[in-house]
């Protein structure tokens, strides 16, 4: 936990000092890490794999990094919609041609 916090603090400081505008994908981490257990009537599938994925997502500290960066660079942090971000040009936000 302390390593993650330390990494987030150092990274957010570097981002705040190095860039005029910082954009983060608007990810709904709470929904991404929902349980796959299901119910007694309809048990979930691949529960162990989902549990491992959830642990990995939460261990990265995405939310903490976003929060600390916004604290250190007020007014310079923006959220961008997550869908299709890999298909958009980061400079002009136009759609890139598909290969």
User: In 3-state terms, what secondary structure has residue 57?
Assistant: helix
| 8 Å CB contact between 21 and 27 | no
pLDDT at 40 (0 to 100): 61
pLDDT block averages, 10 residues each, the chain of length 99? 87 95 87 75 77 83 90 94 72 60
pLDDT at 9 (0 to 100): 94
pLDDT at 97 (0 to 100): 58
| Statement: the pTM of the whole predicted model exceeds 0.85 | no
Report which of 94, 63, 92 is spatially closest to residue 79, judged by C-alpha positions: 63
Cβ-Cβ contacts under 8 Å for 15 (sequence gap 6 or more): 22, 69, 72, 73
- Residue 50 burial by Cβ neighbours in a 10 Å radius (0-12, 13-18, 19+): middle
Spell out the alpha helix ranges (H) of 19-91.
29-32, 47-60, 62-72
């Amino acid at each position: 936990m302390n390593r993650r916090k330390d990494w987030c603090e150092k990274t957010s400081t570097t981002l705040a000092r190095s860039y005029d505008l910082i954009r983060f994908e608007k990810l709904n981490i709470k929904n991404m890490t929902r349980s796959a257990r299901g119910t007694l009537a309809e048990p979930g599938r691949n529960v162990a794999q989902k549990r491992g994925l959830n642990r990995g997502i939460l261990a990265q500290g995405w939310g903490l990094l976003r929060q600390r960066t916004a604290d250190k660079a007020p007014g310079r942090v923006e959220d961008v919609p997550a869908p299709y971000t890999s298909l958009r040009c980061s400079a002009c936000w136009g759609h890139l041609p598909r290969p």
